[in-house]
Structure 1
Amino acid sequence: MPTEAQIAGGHKANLNNPNTSQESKQHSKEVLDNEFNGDNVAGAGDNVDKNPGNVAGGLKATVNNPNVSQEAKESAKERLNQM
């Protein structure tokens, strides 16, 4: 049986898959919004303290990645500023 994190991850992957239909993407977006509060779902290891240097590095990579949406970049910048 898949965990909530796996289900949400599948819907997130579907949203970014260029080979899926707009109807399928809309369904995934609705599931994430309605059942997972956007995409706020606890995943494996979420209760473990994370290395702040690694987190900052990942956020910096997001900000500089040309394949990341402007919205994601802004979110990463905000999180970096809060650290």
Structure 2
Amino acid sequence: MSAPSHNEKDPERVAAGLKASIHNPHVSKEAKDSATHRLDEMAGTSTHESKETEHEHHIMAGYKAALKNPNVSKEAKNHAKQALKEHGAL
């Protein structure tokens, strides 16, 4: 997974920081309420999409690895090649 540029924030890291704020005893109630609200807004958005994209990248990497693995059958290599072509990864 590639790191986001310095202008983009990683949603998982943002969520982790918000959760830390919620559980920190030195943070005001207002700040905790704000963090809770932001977490609620983030739920089900880009984090889910990025996990799906990451999963798809892993699948494509597996197909690429299958093409180079001498223990993979010719039929499986043909299937991997076809899947990579369909996804524009070959």
- Superposed pair shares fold, TM > 0.5: no
TM-score (norm 1): 0.43
Query: Quick check: which one's helix share is greater?
Result: 2
Relative contact order higher in (CA < 8 Å, ≥ 6 apart): 1
Computing the radius of gyration over CA atoms, which structure comes out larger, 1 or 2? 2
